[in-house]
Amino acid sequence: MLRRFSLYGFLKNQQYYDYFLLLAFIQMGLSYFLIGVLIAFREIMINIIEIPSGAIADLYGRRKSMILSFVAYIISFVTFGLSGMAAMQFKLALHTLMPLLFLAMSFFAIGDAF
């Protein structure tokens, strides 16, 4: 179990998905400023959620904390995918698209913090 957890931590911290996320944001029509705002929001949320995530892991166990992390990542990437498809197919305006992206970034931060 420890070996698999160490491998997961190593691969997760490589953050290969960040580059593809950046390309997806550019394809959605976001400016570099808005991409920076989204990434800054994610990093602030990660720092805020770090402390409660440790308490939750202590209270409910490491395994349930990891499951919560995976579920949050899945919700995040599904939201990114659906918002990207909606942006391309329906030509959504940024004021309609940004709340979805902030929601996805919130779940992404929860997944990253746990």
Locate 114 and state its tokens: 């746990």
Region 87-91: mean pLDDT is 79
Q: Is the pLDDT of residue 3 over 90?
A: no
Task: Look at 40-44, 86-90, 99-103 and tell me which has the smallest mean pLDDT.
Answer: 86-90
What pLDDT digit, counting tens, does each position of 55-86 carry?
888 899 888 988 999 999 999 999 999 988 88
Question: In the predicted model, is pLDDT for residue 12 greater than 80?
Answer: no
Average pLDDT, integer, range 2-19: 77
pLDDT at 51: 87
Q: Of 58, 69, 78, give the one whose Cα is nearest residue 113.
A: 69
So where are the chain's domains? 32-113
Distances (CA, A) of 107 to 72, 82, 88, 114: 5, 14, 22, 11
CB atoms within 10 A of CB 49: 19
pLDDT at 35: 95
Residue 93 is predicted with a pLDDT of: 75
Residue 110 confidence (pLDDT): 95
- Residue found under tokens 């805020």: 48
Per-residue pLDDT tens digits for 28-47: 889 999 999 999 999 999 99
Give me the long-range contacts of 78-83 (CB less than 8 A, separation at least 24).
Answer: 79/103, 79/104, 79/107, 80/21, 80/24, 80/104, 83/28
Residue with tokens 């390309």: 23
